[in-house]
Amino acid sequence: MTQSVTTPPSSSKRRSKWQLLMANRLAAAGLFVFGFILVVAILAPLLPMPDPNMTDQPNRLLPPLSQGHLLGTDHLGRDILSRLIWGTQISLIVGVSATALAALFGSLIGLVAGYARGVTDSVLMRFVDMLMAFPYILLAIAIVAALGPGLLNALYAIALVNIPFFARNIRGVTVSIRNREFVDAARLSGKGHVAILFTEVLPNVLPVIVITMSTTVGWMILETAGLSFLGLGAQPPTADLGSMLGQARAQLFTAPHASIIPGLMIFALVMSINLLGDGIRDVLDPRLRSGALDRPLSVTRIARKTTPAATLADAPVLVVEHLSTGFANGGAVTPAVRDVSFRLGKGECLGIIGESGSGKSVTALSLMGLVASPPGVISGGAVYIGGQDVLALRQQELIALRGARVAYVFQDPLTTLHPLFPVATQIAEAVMAHNHVGKREAHQRALELMETVGIRDAAERASAYPHELSGGQRQRIGIAMALANDPDIIIADEPTTALDVTVQARILELLQNLRRERGLALLLITHDFGVVAQVCDRVAVMKNGQIVEQGDTASILRDPQHDYTKRLIACVPELGEGHAFLDRVRPLFEEAKP
């Protein structure tokens, strides 16, 4: 008996970069404050203000709110508001120009060093190391002392001391990109190094440069103000925020407003730029935005709108009801699995089949709360193991079930096995995770398990490292680890995809035998109907995060209801079919074209 469900996929709205930036309240506040300061600084020539350099000795050190001087006057009777606005304009121009210069030269050094490697890399990076060996503000002071005080020289000094920051960051990213396949492909297509650097590598590095600029411009303004404060930047009568602060230092106690006002402006400017910079960084780096770079929680975040029954009477070993899982992305949740329900009995095998991205792995990982969170979130449904809703359990209780009652076998054991420990040690570790046994006993059990999964000369192979075993042997070790605590359910996520056909057949046979001998419930995830036909009693077909059809394998193979199922079945070639396979499959896909 097969059931077929067809529901149009619901689309989730993706928010624009601007909306995402505005959703970040701190970044929005930073943008508002910085935008206001910027507009006022740009409009400085048009504003009805006195000349910022016009002295008026009789009216020196007037307090704020004095007649004609909203923010008072300084020690030479100059209008503080006017000097503040003009000074902010200068500080901004110098800070932004220094950032642009540091970004330009630093990124160029990083790009060339990271791409060329070898001697070029060593020479350039030693120069950068030399710059970094000095405390940067001391180096900036030394440079200005050598070049002579003045705003332009302060700008060069600040730019120079910040070059290493960009060079190191960009070199690191370039090194990882230069070995990627698309760069190799460009090289093979005959492109020259310069063209590859600017058309293949640079576009991938650009977001990092923008992010680094947005997070450093505030500090550069602060450093410029520091040099001017020491008398090495803006020279009298020109005002910038640092020189205003430096000149008002002598009247700190008699007329504190003259130093507090530029101090507050530096604070507001740097703070707003940094908040905005952090916001821009989060928006440009999608992994930061979704939280994917945060340390994941030990259990996927569960945010169910309704609470299902905590227990289910007379339930088979695994019951999944209306499971929905999505990924949070800047406030919105993009659904990956929607309203998925299935059942699995003792000793039974259910295949979950579907194309890449249909939600098979997310379904499998959701069962034990293993979807990385953030960004993962289980937004609805229940998972009953032995009749109990495990999503309602306390975290520690759910974690205790992992490996003990439900075990996973993943696609590529080379990435899941620890490369630095012998395989038997890793199986023994899995045994000890849930049993109070000593190392020796666990090791003995590991050897037995290796024999159970068909590894010949288990005692000899015990001390092998994962890279010393073949793909098939590694997958057997993965299965041995899954069996370590006699689980009720094994979830095998494409366990044979990385293997060639003969080894695949042997691994599937092993899983079949284990299932029969131990009464294991097997949830087999695959994209290959051939595998389903060989192993599974029942099959659920997934598309766009939903189960579109499920039933017993023989019925579905004989009489598929859903077009998608028909196409998946048609994709399995028959032995000796040759060209006839293509003739048979092509019309099915022509029909499916929109």
Ligand X SMILES: Nc1ncnc2c1ncn2[C@@H]1O[C@H](COP(=O)(O)OP(=O)(O)OP(=O)(O)O)[C@@H](O)[C@H]1O
Beta bridge partners of 433: none
Best CA proximity match to 225, nearest among 64, 84, 72? 84
Best CA proximity match to 455, nearest among 490, 479, 491? 479
CA distances from 58 to 62, 72, 73, 77, 424 (A): 10, 13, 11, 7, 89
Q: How far is the CB of 11 from ligand X (least distance, A)?
A: 12
Asked whether position 82 contacts ligand X by CB under 6 A, the answer is no
Do 239 and 83 contact (CB within 8 A), yes or no? yes
Mark the segment that binds ligand X (CB under 6 A) among 52-60, 95-103, 105-113, 350-358: 350-358
Which C-beta is closer to ligand X: that of 435 or that of 497? 497
Which C-beta is closer to ligand X: that of 292 or that of 318? 292
CA distance 38 to 402: 55
How would you list the strands of the sheet with 349-354, edge to edge? 2-4, 546-552, 538-543, 349-354, 521-526, 489-493, 406-409
Helices and strands (H and E) in the chain: how many: 24, 12
Do 24 and 568 contact (CB within 8 A), yes or no? no
Which C-beta is closer to ligand X: that of 211 or that of 328? 328
Interface residues for ligand X in 147-206 (CB under 6 A)?
A: none
Task: List the structure tokens of 47.
Answer: 């504003």
Task: List the structure tokens of 515.
Answer: 């299932």
For residue 516, how far is the Cα from the chain centroid?
41
Q: How far is the CB of 291 from ligand X (least distance, A)?
A: 10
- The phi and psi torsions of 383 (rounded to 5 degrees) equal -125, 110
Do 491 and 427 contact (CB within 8 A), yes or no? no
Asked whether position 83 contacts ligand X by CB under 6 A, the answer is no
Q: How far is the CB of 590 from ligand X (least distance, A)?
A: 24
Where does 254-325 have alpha helices with state H? 257-284, 286-290
Binding ligand X by CB under 6 A: which of 216, 224, 274, 361? Answer: 361
Which C-beta is closer to ligand X: that of 336 or that of 491? 336
Where does 410-468 have alpha helices with state H? 413-416, 423-434, 439-452, 458-461
Which C-beta is closer to ligand X: that of 295 or that of 394? 295
Mark the segment that binds ligand X (CB under 6 A) among 71-79, 351-359, 437-445, 554-562: 351-359
Which C-beta is closer to ligand X: that of 355 or that of 451? 355
Q: How far is the CB of 584 from ligand X (least distance, A)?
A: 24
Mark the segment that binds ligand X (CB under 6 A) among 340-348, 357-365, 377-385, 553-561: 357-365
Q: Which residues of 512-530 are buried (b: 16+ CB within 10 A; e: fewer)?
A: eebbeeeebbbbbbbbbbb
Binding ligand X by CB under 6 A: which of 83, 360, 405, 461? Answer: 360
Mark the segment that binds ligand X (CB under 6 A) among 63-71, 356-364, 414-422, 546-554: 356-364
Binding ligand X by CB under 6 A: which of 136, 327, 408, 564? Answer: 327
CA distance 483 to 499: 20
Which C-beta is closer to ligand X: that of 284 or that of 393? 284
Asked whether position 306 contacts ligand X by CB under 6 A, the answer is no
Number of other residues whose CB lies within 10 A of the CB of residue 51: 12
Asked whether position 300 contacts ligand X by CB under 6 A, the answer is no
Asked whether position 324 contacts ligand X by CB under 6 A, the answer is no
CA distance 65 to 61: 12
List the end-to-end C-alpha distance of the chain, in Å, as a whole number. Answer: 30
Mark the segment that binds ligand X (CB under 6 A) among 71-79, 94-102, 296-304, 353-361: 353-361
Interface residues for ligand X in 195-224 (CB under 6 A)?
A: none
Interface residues for ligand X in 46-65 (CB under 6 A)?
A: none
Asked whether position 368 contacts ligand X by CB under 6 A, the answer is no
In this structure, the strands spanning 489-493 and 521-526 are: parallel
Asked whether position 292 contacts ligand X by CB under 6 A, the answer is yes
Give yes or no for a cis peptide into 52 (omega within 30° of 0).
Answer: no
Binding ligand X by CB under 6 A: which of 354, 413, 466, 472? Answer: 354
Asked whether position 362 contacts ligand X by CB under 6 A, the answer is yes
Do 214 and 288 contact (CB within 8 A), yes or no? no
Q: How far is the CB of 362 from ligand X (least distance, A)?
A: 4
Mark the segment that binds ligand X (CB under 6 A) among 12-20, 153-161, 217-225, 349-357: 349-357
* Residues found in the chain: 594
Which C-beta is closer to ligand X: that of 219 or that of 410? 410
Q: How far is the CB of 17 from ligand X (least distance, A)?
A: 17
Binding ligand X by CB under 6 A: which of 359, 380, 472, 560? Answer: 359
Interface residues for ligand X in 498-557 (CB under 6 A)?
A: 527
Q: How far is the CB of 145 from ligand X (least distance, A)?
A: 52
Q: How far is the CB of 16 from ligand X (least distance, A)?
A: 18
Which C-beta is closer to ligand X: that of 206 or that of 293? 293
Site size toward ligand X, by CB under 6 A = 14
Mark the segment that binds ligand X (CB under 6 A) among 114-122, 164-172, 240-248, 358-366: 358-366
Enumerate binding residues for ligand X (CB under 6 A).
290, 292, 327, 336, 354, 356-362, 375, 527
